[in-house]
Structure 1
Amino acid sequence: MTVEQTPVRALVTGAAHGIGRAIALALAEAGADVAVHYGHSADEAEKTAAQITALGRRAKTFAGDVRDSAQVNTFVADAVEFLGGLDVLVTNAGHLVGRSPVADMTDEHWHSVIDVNLSSTFYTCRAALSSLAASGGRIVTMASVAAHNGGGPGAVAYGAAKAGVVGFTKALAKEVGPKGITVTSVAPGFIANTAFHDTFTSPEAQAANVSSIPVGRAGTPDDVAAAVVYLSSPAARFLSGATLDITGAQWLR
């Protein structure tokens, strides 16, 4: 599977490690030059860029707080200038922030989770639309199985934010389809060996998750990345407004 143009010009947010890094590398392996965005992990982002360069593709890192629309406008513009245009945008940046039951949840926690997951998706897509319209490009947003099942304990804000991402994806697909842009989303289930679960999910809960996955194993960042490459490929040219659930049949709709 190769992406539609050679070289495709891709921007991946939150690409310093984990799923974002896997997506950036998979796109590079499929022939893309990649703008590697990061929030705080500069050294890890440089490692991602170096791995892409080793694959023979162009890469450069770009910093910015995805919760701040002015910073998003700046790093998107800088990435487009580096790439010479934009064909694929992957809005991977997001965070659980922390677990909190609603009864104890502060306004600050609620807004923090919504901003880093949902507002950031809006800001980044808005900043990139004119460049994507020029190329007839692709947007892939990052949802979660939590958008469908509400997530684990204390994840109400996260589930709400990711459900918002799914709704945003559907609405934006209808709005920008006439401009030649497709908009899709991926909703990972339990993806092992990521900072997300290592930080917020106990070993016992992780083991319980894996035991409930019908395919018999946890997901990997590469599983998510493969779906993103597909959604960025000619094979997905008529797929828009949809969300692919990457769950190993743990969650079925």
Structure 2
Amino acid sequence: MSAADERLPDFPSGGCAVVIGGSGGIGRAIALQLAEHGCDIALNYFSNVTGAEETAARVRRAGHEVHVGQVDLRDEAMVKSFLDEAAQHFGGVHTTVYAAGPYIPMRFVSQQPAATFRDVMEHDAFGCYHLAQASLPHLRTAKGSFTAIVTPAIRRYATRDVLSAAPKAAIEQIVKAIAAEEGRFGVRANAVGVGVITDGLYHALVDRGDFDERFLEASRQAKALKRLGTAEEVAEGVVFLASARARWITGQTLMVDGGYAL
């Protein structure tokens, strides 16, 4: 038997992959690529039920089962209930992906209200923490993986981006804590830093004037590859880190950013 024949499947045949933020552009791309790799999917939405239903329909067209639930990530009990329901429905959870993130108005720290900062931290950093705690009992059983979306701004700060950088820096530390503490149970945890892409919150940021053409051109020029990325390109990195192909990788942050954080 060749080494290729002996390679582990990318994901277990039983249980499911949970994608938090599956109603958005990045979450949808991740859910679809996980389905292409043989995973049934549990995905959530906060307010975008139409987006969640579109993702679910595409997962089903790919030949896999999907469970959809409305989840407010600030509500610890609601997050736990969603994970437990997914595990009961599919017979376990082997993969959890945190791909959520609220809309963030880009302002200088001197102009950003503390109330807005608090709200974003509760949605993002606390939401990811709630997800991690709810996921770990299931991931221990499956010896599974936890992967979170962060930002290259935690390595190379961009002005007016504190509402992205601060909570994602906290999330990166949550990921490292999971990797360090849960490896003894066979659980891995990694992060993917996402640069400016033409999906997800991109359109809302353009519509509201946070991303104007001057900003976008500067963003392109700041990247080694001189272009913006796509949700599909981000999903490739996420799915790799979540899969058995990355079974010796944990506690790492992979920057999928076109070379911004060099």
Of 195, 199, 203, the residue aligned with 1:189 is 195
Q: Which runs of 4+ in 1 moved over 6 A?
A: none
In the TM superposition, residue 114 of structure 1 has moved relative to its aligned partner by 1.0
1:179 is aligned to 2:185: yes
In the TM superposition, residue 60 of structure 1 has moved relative to its aligned partner by 1.9
Note if contact 2:15-2:91 (Cα within 8 Å) is conserved in structure 1: no
Classify the secondary structure of the residue corresponding to 2:44. strand
1:149 is aligned to 2:156: yes
Of 203, 216, 223, the residue aligned with 2:226 is 216
TM-score of the superposed pair, with normalisation by structure 2: 0.90
In the TM superposition, residue 198 of structure 1 has moved relative to its aligned partner by 4.0
Question: What's the counterpart of residue 176 of structure 2?
Answer: 170
Q: In the TM superposition, what whole-angstrom CA distance separates every residue of 1:21-52 from its partner, at most 9, and x where no partner exists?
A: 00000100111000011111111101101100
In 2, the alpha carbon distance for the partners of 1:4 and 1:183 equals: 15
Of 14, 22, 29, the residue aligned with 1:22 is 29
Partner letter of residue 93 of structure 1?
A
Note the residue ranges of structure 1 that are not aligned, 5 or more in a row: none
Question: What's the counterpart of residue 94 of structure 1?
Answer: 101
In 2, the alpha carbon distance for the partners of 1:68 and 1:196 equals: 26
In the TM superposition, residue 96 of structure 1 has moved relative to its aligned partner by 4.3
Q: In the TM superposition, what whole-angstrom CA distance separates every residue of 1:182-213 from its partner, at most 9, and x where no partner exists?
A: 00000011211332454232232112212332
Equivalences for residues 1-253 of structure 1 within 5 A: 3-7=10-14, 9-153=16-160, 155-196=161-202, 198-199=204-205, 200-252=210-262
Classify the secondary structure of the residue corresponding to 2:67. strand
Aligned residues: 251
In 1, the alpha carbon distance for the partners of 2:212 and 2:9 equals: 38
Partner letter of residue 194 of structure 1?
G
Percent identical among aligned pairs is 29
In 1, the alpha carbon distance for the partners of 2:225 and 2:85 equals: 42
Classify the secondary structure of the residue corresponding to 2:155. helix
Note if contact 1:25-1:52 (Cα within 8 Å) is conserved in structure 2: yes
Mean Cα deviation higher: 136-145 or 93-102 = 93-102
TM-score of the superposed pair, with normalisation by structure 1: 0.93
Note the residue ranges of structure 2 that are not aligned, 5 or more in a row: 1-7
In 2, the alpha carbon distance for the partners of 1:77 and 1:120 equals: 16
In the TM superposition, residue 92 of structure 1 has moved relative to its aligned partner by 0.9
Note if contact 2:153-2:165 (Cα within 8 Å) is conserved in structure 1: yes
